[in-house]
């Protein structure tokens, strides 16, 4: 078996994963819920990083 970079999709999974097909089958409200969730995750991640950086500077 060949090794793949960590972010590469294994060849046997390449055609099994079709994010665009999944996305277009979601209703508008489902798509909005996904967007809202991703926005929350990004906000929390940025807040966490900012908090961590502030704590590091205080040391």
pLDDT tens-place string over residues 26-43: 999 999 999 999 999 999
Mean pLDDT over the full length of the chain: 81
Cα dihedral: 22, 25, 30, 32 (round 10): 80
Tokens matching residue 11: 């060849």
User: In 10 A of CB 20, how many CB atoms?
Assistant: 7
Confidence of residue 49 (pLDDT cuts 50, 70, 90): confident
pLDDT at 8: 73
Beta strands in 1-59 (DSSP E): none
Domain ranges of the chain: 30-59
Q: What is the pLDDT of residue 21?
A: 79
Query: Which of 7-11, 12-16, 26-30 shows the highest mean pLDDT?
Result: 26-30
Contact between 43 and 49 under an 8 Å Cβ cutoff? The reply is no
């Amino acid at each position: 078996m060949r090794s793949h970079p960590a972010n590469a999709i294994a060849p046997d999974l390449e055609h099994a994963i079709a994010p665009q097909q999944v996305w277009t089958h979601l209703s508008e409200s489902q798509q909005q819920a996904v967007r809202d969730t991703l926005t929350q995750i990004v906000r929390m991640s940025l807040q966490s990083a900012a908090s961590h950086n502030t704590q590091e500077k205080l040391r």
